[in-house]
Chains A and B, each alone.
Chain A
Amino acid sequence: MAPDGDAARGPVYDLVAEVLVGVAPEEAADLPLVWEAWRRNPVPPSALHDRERLLGSGLAGELVTWAPLVVSFLGTQVVGGAMVDAAKDGLRSRSRNRIRSWRDRWRRRRGRAEVEGSVPRLTPAEIRDLAAEAERAAVAVGRTPEEARVLGDHLAGVLTRRAAA
């Protein structure tokens, strides 16, 4: 199924593209495909990879390219509202994230996740939190800590540049 085109893209897509180019430039060409697939079925990073899916191949998900993880993480954070809320509240707690995750899952079931968000300007502390969250998500889907740190660093760099602009 072909992507809807530029109309489906916006600030979040641009952010994702910027981060992905930093992490894995060779995957930039596949981004529209992955973005479109995620937009129609917005799964969070935690649902990307089941360690031992009953009928899957059972091989490690580390064969993955970066694009699904970056799209899913930033898409969930921004479109799902986490970054927006974080910018408003200046504080995020794990329990609130959990409630938000349930809410998002319910919204997805109801087909309500097709909402494009805008990328807020974050404070340095919020950027650090988000980068740490990205590293945790990467490790959870099977990336090594070193690889996860690359993602966190790039994300922090992009967001810092944007905040300073």
Chain B
Amino acid sequence: MGAGELPTSTARTAHGSAARPFLLPPPSTSRFTLTQLSLAAAGLFAASWFLVLRPGSTRVTTSGGSCADVGSPAPTASPIDAFLACSSDALAGEAALVLVGPVALAVLASVGWFLAPRVLTRWWRDLDLEPPGPRHDALDRLAREEGLEHLPTWYRTVRTGAWTYGRWPRHRVVVGLDVLTGFRGDKDERRWRALISHEVAHLRNRDVDRTYWTLCAFFAFLLIVATPLVVDAFVSSRVGPSLSWRVVAIVLVVVLSVAAVLRTREHDADLRAASSDSGGMREAIAWSLAKREPSSRPRWLRTHPRDAERLAVVDDPSRALWISPVEFLAAGIAAGVVLVELPAVLEGLLEATPGGAVTAYLVAGWLTGLPLVGVVGLASWRAAVAAADTGTRAPRGLVPGVALAAGLLAGSQIAPRSSAAWVTVFATSGDRAFSPRLGNVAVPTALWLVAVLVLIGLLFVTWSVAMGEAFTTSRRPVDVRVARHVLLGATVLCVPLGGWFLALRLAAADAVDPATLAASFVGYHALEALLVVTLVAATALAWCTSRWLVLPGAIVAGVALAAVVLLPVAVPTREDPRAGGANLALPAFPQAGNACLWLMHVRPLDGDPDYQRRFGAALSATDDALMREIGAALVASADDPDGAAALSARTALVRRCDAFSTGR
């Protein structure tokens, strides 16, 4: 059953207007998405750490000496083509290895989720099947009245309370005898009935499988990611403290996200149960509130909300739909970590594609944008709908937008990949083992990057809130609208997000200034992509909302983003410190590695045909067979420096130099 088919709950607020907490997927879905995002980020890095970065394991899989052995190419292939094919395969394999992290987490979580019902039934021991009879019939009747299609199996226990577990479609509801003996199916037994309705509401909200999967993934995360990472970081390298506090930070984000999932699902279940009873849920919560002292555990670590909060939300459901800047901050952190790790993977898979790095960042921006929109976009839309329903002021994007930007920035720095200059830590690290640490960036550039990120956050949240109003006017099914909005939002986000993280990486690696960064974007035609995407998004927005007033807003947002990227072009580009190398005479390179140092520190291949010809000739006299082949290819392609042969030769040269720099 889709979200759009769920019965829409309405509850009166204190102002007398109706709030619709289930018009859109409820808040627990956003928290669930956020947790998955955080877990995926941590999994990516753990795999990168254990399977790629650590000394010893990299030699097996990455491009290295074995690919550079030109003595054994296929008879039909040139040595350069053979080297490129070999190294591309190795890099793609390395990238695929990194995916092992999130895949392993997902597999372990799925196995745990699959086995959980059987294990828990044995573990609890004291569960008895509710025998057929009037009480069983009353329970079934209640579940049907609540709208359940698949009736659960009812268990009873001498313990108190009630809870739900199992796998779809065979869920199990355990009801304590304290509740069960008070329930005989009579609608006057409102408190007892409400407790059982609350558990049925978890099934109606479809959060039972999600929650158990999340908990299994969390335990898998502790087992195969967090613990091994911290231990190994201290034992095997000198980046221990720098890496470990980041791992601890990610553990904290995951823990808080999981606790938020558990808390939010209780609010959702309260609201769902309250939507179909006549005050029983409210009475049960009020009873609970009156009966006990509030727990002293901090709110963020609680797995259940306080009774007072629950009562307030049941009284005014729109409270559950308000925007939480903390949620935006956490979503930003998780997305920031993913946007550091994921492009490295995609770059390896797109190694053979021209412009692979930019494409990798745009694709990573889109892929990360999907769950990010599922958190912050959905939250904005819910808040906009609640504001429209209750006649209150529409939410503003300022604080949530800044929180999102702050989260993205923090995530980029919390990402374990930012914890070291990997090439200096592990001699075998390739150039793609980058470290996007903001501390490596010049202060003016860092300030520019931060300003751009804040602007991205503000514009996106403002745009999202505007999109949320579409839900109050469109008549199309909610599922379709949510899916379309998420796709659209990810498309709008992919260019600014991908572009910003690429800019951070370039700035951190090469200390380039804003103007150079902006110029490189223009060179990669990202500007055109930005404008096209914005126009498409604006048109789609207008089409799906039928609110043409929103169109100018979207265009203004797109133009503002373009201006942010273009602005530094007006600033004079800093002179390349290597520019003076053009005046130096090219020496001989008896050792091929020296040629690489010349390229890195004196003069790169800059498109000058004569320089390319002379450099190729110098390479032809080195001690490395592959470099001699590359030198010959550079000489032969010097008259067409933009041709395919020159491109292959230059790519092979970069990869061979990478192998030299990492000692392979």
Contact = CB atoms under 8 A, between A and B. Distances in A.
B529 interface: no
A64 B181 CA distance: 9
Contacts of A48: 158-160
A56 B303 CA distance: 10
A47 interface: yes
B347 to A, nearest CB: 40
B285 A43 contact: no
B179 A56 contact: no
Contact of A57 (B156, B159, B195): B195
B163 A68 contact: no
Contacts of B131: 1-2
Nearest to B126: A41
A34 B178 CA distance: 9
Nearest to B198: A57
B177 A33 contact: yes
Contacts of A41: 125-126, 128, 157-158
B192 interface: yes
B538 interface: no
Nearest to A142: B292
Contact of A63 (B128, B266, B288): B288
Given A62-B288, A63-B287, A68 B176 contact: yes
A31 to B, nearest CB: 9
A51 B179 CA distance: 16
With a 10 A CB-CB cut-off, give which of B160, B285, B295 has the most chain A CB atoms: B160
A27 B182 CA distance: 9
How many A residues touch the partner, as a band?
Answer: 35 or more
B262 interface: yes
How many B residues touch the partner, as a band?
Answer: 35 or more
Interface of A is mostly: loop
B164 interface: yes
Interface string B301-336: 011110100000000000000000000000000000
Given A48-B159, A49-B160, A63-B179, A55 B288 contact: no
A71 B159 CA distance: 11
Contacts of A33: 177, 181
A67 B176 CA distance: 11
Contact of A55 (B125, B165, B178, B292): B165
Given A59-B195, A142-B292, A34 B304 contact: no
Nearest to A35: B158
Contact of B192 (A40, A52, A63, A141): A63
Contact of B157 (A37, A60, A62): A37
Interface of B is mostly: mixed
Given A33-B177, A142-B292, A49 B156 contact: no
Interface in B163-199: 163-165, 176-179, 181-182, 191-192, 195, 198-199
Nearest to A71: B158
Contacts of B192: 63
Contacts of B128: 1, 37, 40-41
Given A1-B128, A33-B181, A37-B177, A59 B158 contact: no
Interface in B130-144: 131
A59 B289 CA distance: 8
A67 B302 contact: no
Contacts of A2: 131
A104 to B, nearest CB: 14
B302 A34 contact: no
B160 A57 contact: no
Given A40-B128, A58-B266, A59-B285, A68 B178 contact: yes
Interface in A100-125: none
Interface in B87-105: none
A63 B125 CA distance: 23
A34 B379 CA distance: 45
Contacts of B181: 27, 30, 33-34, 65, 67
A51 B262 CA distance: 15
A141 B159 contact: no
B302 A53 contact: no
Rank and list the top 4 A-B pairs by shortest CB-CB distance, nearest first. Answer: A58-B304, A41-B126, A64-B178, A60-B288
Interface of A: 1-2, 27, 30, 33-34, 37-38, 40-41, 43, 47-49, 51-65, 67-68, 71-72, 141-142, 144
Given A55-B165, A59-B198, 6 more contacts: A48-B158, A55-B211, A55-B262, A60-B288, A60-B292, A68-B176
23 contacts: A37-B126, A38-B158, A43-B126, A43-B159, A52-B303, A55-B165, A56-B163, A57-B161, A57-B162, A58-B266, A59-B195, A59-B284, A59-B285, A60-B287, A60-B307, A61-B160, A63-B287, A65-B177, A67-B177, A68-B159, A68-B176, A68-B177, A144-B291
